[in-house]
Amino acid sequence: MVQQEIRKGPWTEQEDIKLVSFVGLFGDRRWDFIAKVSGLNRTGKSCRLRWVNYLHPGLKRGKMTPLEERLVLELHSKWGNRWSRIARKLPGRTDNEIKNYWRTHMRKIAQEKKRAAISSPTSSSCHSSLSSENHTVDSYPTKKTGEESFYDTGGPNMTSKTETKIGEDQVGDQGYSMDDIWKDIALSESLMHPVYDGHSEVGCNFSCPPMPSPSWEYSSDSLWVMDEEESKEIKSRQTSNRKVGLALGYRGSVITKSSQVNQFGILCHAF
């Protein structure tokens, strides 16, 4: 058999249209199947990612609201890097989006805090990661072996992967890995107030009220409104008739860049 070459890289409008229509037909579960029958020379994974992060009708775009920002912070302190889980509490936001947001914004904040900490060197809590003497503020500490960093875990058993990767030479862009970000944030938060001690999901008292689900009105089986338990429950309810025509629920409310708006206009017409 001649294997068609798997396409990679940016998706075209035509591919999007195809994907949406096939998801409409077969639901958003059987990604490998969809990838095959659609004729998109993409992997199932790629199709799923495109759908979840970009084509899903309930996606909210644009800047994070202050409420969302706060929620991300608090949920991250509660759950660590469980982006998909955090995303479920932020209707319309994807794990990818939150991850990206966290990475850029928190890094920025951490840098600012770090600068502030440097300018007041009497602070005893800033010794650990600020000791790279002959570096500028923008060069970042590398991970010390055996040093504990609860921020890169989000839980007791998420350390291994990160550590083995970053412990080598992989330090991310500009030499600033996720690991370093967590450390910086840990540092900056410790300067501000005591930090919730990390791992357990119980006994964490937040001042933040439960997510009020602002202006969110997507269907009840939305990806984002479910917590794990809910999702399990729904999964158990899911039978073959589920989701057919989910994509037909397209609404015009998806905020996109101008070209993307056009794209969705086209997509709507595809049905």
123 vs 199, beta carbon nearer DNA: 199
Determine if 83 is a binding residue for DNA (CB under 7 A).
yes
Determine if 197 is a binding residue for DNA (CB under 7 A).
no
- Phi/psi of residue 39, nearest 5 degrees: 80, 0
Determine if 199 is a binding residue for DNA (CB under 7 A).
no
21, 41, 84, 128: which one binds DNA (CB under 7 A) = 84
Determine if 54 is a binding residue for DNA (CB under 7 A).
yes
19, 23, 60, 97: which one binds DNA (CB under 7 A) = 97
> Which 122-141 residues touch DNA, going by CB under 7 A?
138
The minimum distance between CB 169 and DNA, in angstroms, equals 9
166 vs 267, beta carbon nearer DNA: 166
Determine if 152 is a binding residue for DNA (CB under 7 A).
yes
Distances (CA, A) of 128 to 104, 178, 189: 22, 17, 14
Unique residue bearing structure tokens 């101008």: 258
13, 45, 118, 268: which one binds DNA (CB under 7 A) = 45
158, 191, 195, 211: which one binds DNA (CB under 7 A) = 158
Total residues at interface with DNA (CB under 7 A): 55
129, 149, 177, 188: which one binds DNA (CB under 7 A) = 177
Determine if 142 is a binding residue for DNA (CB under 7 A).
no
Which residues would be at the binding site for DNA (CB under 7 A)? 7-11, 29-33, 42, 44-46, 48-50, 53-54, 61-63, 81-85, 95-97, 99-101, 103-105, 107-108, 138, 152, 154, 158, 160-162, 165-166, 170, 172-174, 177-179, 235
